[in-house]
């Protein structure tokens, strides 16, 4: 039986509808996969306009709590927000013009040097193979005289995934785009960017395999500090 | 005072007409990238729905949908009334945290993972703040813990007051990216499995711990500040039961290579 909602009166109507649906999810009265009543029914049940209901559904959809499917078997279904959504949110925040490459690189020190110990303790052989495969691609590119900041950024996101912590993995995924951007900036400042880094990636994989956290920290902190100097995290 | 661009300024070339099926997502993406690139600035008002609809070559309903999606993502704020419209806002970590806490609520992410991630971010933040906090920052933090102590006596202390401390601390790091990451965890706190039931005794401990962190910051003692922060965040959690290599790390004083004062 679908939970009944109470008519709304104050504030912005659509925001209130969103709150009611969220409360129903929190209380377990709605679960992922459940279908919400048709717009028409919701409109009647809540005593609001169809525009307000539509607005509310769109907000819930944007928050990843509802998926609107079209077609004969369509409707609004409750879903679990995808990690991607959090990643996009953090990404939007970090890509914003107010965040400088120096800010971002310093934030990486905070974040990645914290994550490396977990990665070292928890990385599986499968994780390491994925890291190596990224190194192989970077090597192939280097042989052809190229360097791709996006590939470096991918390595660092995968490194965080070795922590087997979903929250860290999604923060790392969010950092990936802005990180590639800061590496492009580093390369603009210093065209040597991309020569030593990939070798250190390879060395990091080996220290992870040996579970040598101290050495991994040393390599990683030197690795990020080089970018930091280039983008102006100065003394 | 919000700025508004004239139609002429915004019109040519900023947005392109839409052809794909999910038109509203495409519109939201175009506006999003104009905001993150800085072509649209905080406080600016977007053109009215009618004009946007013409510019994108879609219906007003589709434009509305896109604006709602952007609003949920914290990139615009829709204000009603005579001086209303859609205004560009800077996305805050608090909104990101809302999604993170929604995920936690629906068990797509474990509270332990959140606490561990928050530990990493906050321990880094406190290290940077220890180097970079200005006298004003330290005064603000000191004032926060003093107000906290008063609120305890008056029985008006709330979780929000506690969070204000962490916000002030993040500000003292003087790094917009670090600040954003810290704020991302804000709304996950209300769902903390243990602390949702916490009472006065736990609040008292919080204020005591905050005070010790401020004491350490004033002495620029990063090692102590980190240890106090770790103890503070882990109290009441079941993280100690988890085999976390971080636990060993925090008992010593880790080297923080490369994090140096900027000015």
Tally C-beta pairs within 8 A across A and B. 193
Which residue range(s) make up the domain with A89? 83-231
Q: Under an 8 A CB cutoff, do B105 and A99 touch?
A: no
Give me the CATH number covering residue A30.
1.10.10.10
The answer to whether A141 contacts chain B (CB < 8 Å) is no
> Are B161 and B226 part of one and the same domain?
yes
Can you tell me the mean pLDDT for A1-12? 55
List the single residue in A with minimal CA-CA distance to B32. Answer: A92
The answer to whether B4 contacts chain A (CB < 8 Å) is no
Q: How confident is the model at residue B97 (pLDDT cuts 50, 70, 90)?
A: low
* pLDDT at position A125: 96
Q: How confident is the model at residue B259 (pLDDT cuts 50, 70, 90)?
A: very low
Q: How confident is the model at residue B147 (pLDDT cuts 50, 70, 90)?
A: very high
> Are B11 and B33 part of one and the same domain?
yes
Q: Which of A48, A78, A108 lies at the terminal end of a domain, its last residue?
A: A78
> Are A134 and A207 part of one and the same domain?
yes
> Are B179 and B241 part of one and the same domain?
yes
Q: Give the DSSP H/E element, type plus range, for residue B87.
A: strand B85-88
Chain A CB contacts of B243 below 8 Å: 121
Q: Under an 8 A CB cutoff, do B176 and A99 touch?
A: yes
Q: Under an 8 A CB cutoff, do B72 and A221 touch?
A: no
| Top-confidence residue, A71 or A7 | A71
Total domains in chain A come to 2
> Are A198 and A135 part of one and the same domain?
yes
> Are A195 and A212 part of one and the same domain?
yes
On the question of pLDDT at A179 being above 70, the answer is yes
What residues contact residue A72 under an 8 Å CB cut-off, 6+ apart? none
| Top-confidence residue, A160 or B73 | A160
> Are A74 and A106 part of one and the same domain?
no
> Are B119 and B56 part of one and the same domain?
no
> Are A55 and A138 part of one and the same domain?
no
Q: How confident is the model at residue B141 (pLDDT cuts 50, 70, 90)?
A: very high
**What's the complex ipTM?**
0.75
> Are B115 and B194 part of one and the same domain?
yes
> Are B161 and B55 part of one and the same domain?
no
> Are B177 and B242 part of one and the same domain?
yes
> Are A113 and A204 part of one and the same domain?
yes
Can you tell me the mean pLDDT for B61-77? 84
Q: How confident is the model at residue B52 (pLDDT cuts 50, 70, 90)?
A: very high
Please indicate, yes or no, if residue A207 is contained in any of the structural domains. yes
Please indicate, yes or no, if residue B262 is contained in any of the structural domains. no
* pLDDT at position A220: 94
Chain B CB contacts of A98 below 8 Å: 90, 176
CA distance A230 to chain B (A): 12
Please indicate, yes or no, if residue B51 is contained in any of the structural domains. yes
The whole-angstrom separation of Cα A151 and Cα B7 is: 41
Please indicate, yes or no, if residue A139 is contained in any of the structural domains. yes
The answer to which of B95-109, B166-180, B242-256 has the lowest mean pLDDT is: B242-256
Chain A CB contacts of B62 below 8 Å: none
Phi-psi region of A47 (alpha: psi -120 to 50; beta: other; left: phi over 0): left
> Are A72 and A91 part of one and the same domain?
no
Total domains in chain B come to 2
> Are B57 and B106 part of one and the same domain?
no
Question: Using only C-alpha atoms, what is the Rg of chain B?
Answer: 22
> Are A119 and A147 part of one and the same domain?
yes
What is the CB neighbour count within 10 angstroms for residue B121? 23
On the question of pLDDT at A7 being above 90, the answer is no
* pLDDT at position A6: 58
List the single residue in A81, A115, A168 with the smallest CB-CB distance to B103: A81
The answer to whether B111 contacts chain A (CB < 8 Å) is no
> Are B70 and B36 part of one and the same domain?
yes
Give me the CATH number covering residue B189.
1.20.120.530
Chain A CB contacts of B100 below 8 Å: 86, 167, 170
Q: Which of B37, B70, B88 lies at the terminal end of a domain, its last residue?
A: B88
* Top mean-pLDDT range of A87-96, A111-120, B92-101: A111-120
On the question of pLDDT at A90 being above 90, the answer is no
The answer to whether B261 contacts chain A (CB < 8 Å) is yes
Mutate to test the interface with B, among A83, A101, A114, A213 (most CBs of B within 10 A): A114
Q: How confident is the model at residue B253 (pLDDT cuts 50, 70, 90)?
A: very low
List the single residue in B106, B175, B257 with the smallest CB-CB distance to A106: B175
> Are A36 and A138 part of one and the same domain?
no
Chain A CB contacts of B127 below 8 Å: 110
List beta partners, residue A69. A75
For residue A36 the two structure tokens come to 């919400």
pLDDT (tens digit per residue) in B3-46: 444 444 444 555 655 444 478 888 888 888 887 777 888 889 99
> Are A121 and A189 part of one and the same domain?
yes
Give me the CATH number covering residue B76.
1.10.10.10
Give me the CATH number covering residue A210.
1.20.120.530
> Are A30 and A74 part of one and the same domain?
yes
List the single residue in B93, B102, B260 with the smallest CB-CB distance to A233: B260
* pLDDT at position A70: 79
* pLDDT at position A115: 93
SS (H, E, C) chain A: CCCCCCCCCCCCHHHHHHHHHHHHHHCCCCCCCCECCCHHHHHHHHCCCHHHHHHHHHHHHHCCCEEEECCCCCEEEECCCCHHHHHHHHHHHHHCCCCCHHHHHHHHHHHHHHHHHHHHHHCCHHHHHHHHHHHHHHHHHHHCCCCCHHHHHHHHHHHHHCCCCHHHHHHHHHHHHHHHHHHHHHHHHCCCCCCCHHHHHHHHHHHHHCCCHHHHHHHHHHHHHHHHHHHCCCC
Can you tell me the mean pLDDT for A23-37? 85
What average pLDDT does chain B have?
78
Q: Which of A52, A78, A104 lies at the terminal end of a domain, its last residue?
A: A78
* pLDDT at position B237: 72
The whole-angstrom separation of Cα A33 and Cα B250 is: 42
Please indicate, yes or no, if residue B260 is contained in any of the structural domains. no
> Are B155 and B225 part of one and the same domain?
yes
> Are B126 and B185 part of one and the same domain?
yes
Which residue range(s) make up the domain with B239? 93-251
Please indicate, yes or no, if residue B1 is contained in any of the structural domains. no
> Are B125 and B111 part of one and the same domain?
yes
Please indicate, yes or no, if residue A23 is contained in any of the structural domains. yes
> Are A93 and A181 part of one and the same domain?
yes
Please indicate, yes or no, if residue A6 is contained in any of the structural domains. no
The answer to which of B157-171, B172-186, B246-260 has the lowest mean pLDDT is: B246-260
Q: How confident is the model at residue A167 (pLDDT cuts 50, 70, 90)?
A: confident
**What does the CA dihedral B52, B55, B59, B62 come to, rounded to 10 degrees?**
-60
Q: Under an 8 A CB cutoff, do B90 and A98 touch?
A: yes
pLDDT (tens digit per residue) in B219-245: 999 999 999 998 888 877 766 666 555
Please indicate, yes or no, if residue A34 is contained in any of the structural domains. yes
Please indicate, yes or no, if residue A2 is contained in any of the structural domains. no
């Amino acid at each position: 039986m679908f939970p009944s909602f109470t008519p709304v009166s104050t504030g912005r109507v659509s925001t209130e509808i969103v709150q009611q649906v969220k409360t129903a999810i929190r209380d377990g009265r709605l679960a992922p996969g459940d279908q919400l009543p048709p717009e028409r029914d919701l409109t009647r049940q809540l005593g609001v306009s169809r525009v307000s209901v539509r607005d509310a559904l769109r907000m819930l959809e944007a928050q990843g709590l509802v998926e609107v499917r079209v077609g004969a078997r369509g409707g609004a279904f409750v879903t679990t927000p995808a990690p991607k959504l959090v990643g996009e949110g953090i990404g939007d925040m970090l890509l914003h013009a107010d965040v400088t490459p120096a800010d971002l690189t310093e934030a990486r020190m905070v974040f990645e040097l914290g994550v490396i110990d977990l990665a070292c303790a928890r990385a599986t052989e499968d994780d390491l193979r994925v890291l190596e495969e990224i190194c192989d691609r970077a090597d192939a590119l280097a042989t052809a005289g190229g360097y791709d900041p996006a590939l470096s950024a991918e390595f660092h996101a995968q490194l965080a995934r070795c922590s087997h912590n979903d929250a860290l993995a999604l923060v790392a995924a969010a950092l990936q785009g802005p990180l590639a951007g800061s590496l492009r900036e580093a390369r603009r400042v210093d065209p040597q960017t991309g020569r030593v880094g990939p070798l250190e990636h390879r060395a990091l994989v080996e220290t992870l395999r040996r579970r040598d956290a101290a050495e991994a920290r040393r390599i990683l902190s030197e690795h990020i500090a080089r970018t930091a100097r280039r983008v102006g995290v100065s003394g | 005072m919000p700025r508004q661009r004239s139609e002429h300024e915004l019109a040519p070339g900023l947005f392109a007409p839409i052809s794909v099926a999910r038109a509203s997502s495409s519109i939201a993406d175009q506006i999003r990238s104009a905001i993150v690139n800085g072509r649209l600035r905080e406080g600016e008002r977007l053109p009215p729905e009618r004009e946007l609809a013409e510019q994108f070559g879609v219906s007003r309903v589709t434009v509305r949908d896109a604006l709602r999606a952007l609003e949920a993502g914290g990139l615009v704020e829709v204000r009603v009334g005579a001086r209303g419209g859609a205004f560009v806002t800077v996305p805050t970590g608090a909104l990101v945290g809302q999604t993170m806490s929604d995920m936690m609520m629906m068990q797509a992410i474990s509270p332990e993972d959140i606490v561990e991630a928050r530990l990493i971010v906050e321990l880094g933040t406190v290290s940077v703040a220890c180097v970079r906090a200005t006298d004003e920052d330290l005064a603000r933090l000191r004032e926060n813990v003093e107000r906290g102590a008063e609120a305890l006596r008056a029985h008006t202390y709330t979780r929000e007051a506690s969070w204000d401390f962490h916000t002030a601390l993040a500000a003292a790091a003087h790094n917009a990216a670090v600040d954003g990451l810290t704020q991302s965890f804000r709304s996950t706190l209300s769902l903390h499995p243990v602390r949702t039931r916490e009472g006065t005794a736990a609040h008292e401990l919080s204020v005591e711990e905050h005070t010790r962190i401020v004491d350490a910051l004033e002495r620029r003692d990063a090692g102590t500040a980190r240890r106090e922060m770790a103890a503070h965040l882990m109290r009441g959690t079941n993280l100690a039961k988890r085999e976390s290599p971080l636990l060993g790390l925090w008992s010593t004083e880790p080297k923080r290579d490369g994090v140096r004062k900027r000015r």
